[in-house]
């Protein structure tokens, strides 16, 4: 696996942790989850910046945001009891499909 995908993976992971902390912060009324938001988002942007050395911004952002959306929807379902209806599940499946198409068929995924 190329190194830039590892950096992108860490960017996605820390963004997802930051968004989870954002929900847990209860609108920044809880100190430690609020601190986690700042730390995890900062780490995410740092890791994304490294991935941007090797990949175009549009592709990085599409993968980062798309997988972040899917992961946080799953975390919201499991940890916070947020329900997903059929339309939401289908939409999330389309996001995953779009990321797979970019990864498998786009010549733009690296430069």
**Where along the chain do its domains lie?**
3-109
For the residues 36-55, what does the mean pLDDT come to? 97
Phi, psi of 86 (to 5 degrees): -60, -40
pLDDT at 33 over 80: yes
Cα–Cα distance, 89 to 28 (Å, whole number) = 29
Cα–Cα distance, 43 to 100 (Å, whole number) = 25
pLDDT at 107: 85
Q: What percent of the chain has pLDDT over 90?
A: 90
For the residues 17-39, what does the mean pLDDT come to? 98
pLDDT at 43 over 80: yes
pLDDT at 111 over 60: no
Burial of 73 (0-12, 13-18, 19+ CB in 10 A): middle
pLDDT at 44: 98
Burial of 23 (0-12, 13-18, 19+ CB in 10 A): middle
Cα–Cα distance, 21 to 40 (Å, whole number) = 9
pTM (two decimals)? 0.91
Among candidates 102, 18, 104, which has minimal Cα distance to 68? 18
For the residues 81-90, what does the mean pLDDT come to? 97
């Amino acid at each position: 696996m190329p190194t830039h995908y590892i950096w992108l993976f860490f960017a996605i992971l820390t963004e997802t942790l930051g968004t989870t902390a954002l929900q847990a912060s209860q609108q920044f009324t809880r100190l430690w989850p609020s601190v986690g938001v700042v730390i995890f988002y900062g780490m995410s942007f740092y890791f994304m910046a490294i991935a941007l050395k090797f990949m175009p911004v549009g592709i990085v952002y599409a993968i980062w945001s798309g997988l972040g959306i899917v992961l946080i929807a799953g975390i919201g379902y499991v940890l916070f009891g947020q329900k997903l209806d059929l339309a939401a599940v289908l939409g999330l499946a389309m996001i995953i499909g779009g990321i797979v198409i970019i990864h498998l068929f786009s010549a733009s995924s690296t430069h």
